[in-house]
Amino acid sequence: MNTLGLSTTAINKIVNNPTVLGSRLSDRTDDTLQLLGVSRADADHILDGYNNGFRIVFILNATLAAIATITSIVMIRHKELTRGDEEQLREKALKEDEKNNRAIGEEDREVARTEDVELDVLPVLQDQERARSEAIATT
């Protein structure tokens, strides 16, 4: 815009609000362009510069995005997430779980017996068990 011989205030107004150059497309009088000291040809030239600038920035960003995508695809290496000993570990865990369940079951039975003795229920249960076994034996 300096090469067009525009004043500093005109350049600042155009840079701050490039839409003022759009008045060249209207049928109205070119009051805003005349106030800035810009002809229609100069406005076209300035807007072409804006368009080329945005085009260059777009192409640059698109190219950089493509390069980043290709680089990330090439640099990411495949990492195997499975281990070779998973089946063995699963078998070991199942065995330990069964062992713990048996131990817990025995502890529960022992606790139940202890509670029965404390509540004087055990002799009653023993009598009932004896009666059942005698009834089975007699039949």
Give the mean pLDDT per block of 10 residues along the chain (139 residues): 72 78 60 74 83 95 96 86 81 83 64 55 66 77
pLDDT for 61 = 97
pLDDT for 97 = 80
| Residue ranges per structural domain of the chain | 8-75, 86-138
- CA distance linking residue 126 with residue 72, whole number of Å: 76
Using CA atoms, how far residue 24 sits from 9, 14, 21, 47, 50, in Å, is: 19, 13, 6, 11, 15
- CA distance linking residue 127 with residue 109, whole number of Å: 19
- CA distance linking residue 14 with residue 35, whole number of Å: 12
Number of neighbours of residue 46 by Cβ within 10 angstroms: 20
pLDDT for 26 = 61
pLDDT for 68 = 96
pLDDT for 124 = 60
Number of neighbours of residue 47 by Cβ within 10 angstroms: 16
Number of neighbours of residue 38 by Cβ within 10 angstroms: 25
pLDDT for 60 = 98
> Phi then psi for 26, rounded to 5 degrees?
-85, 160
pLDDT for 72 = 92
pLDDT for 70 = 94
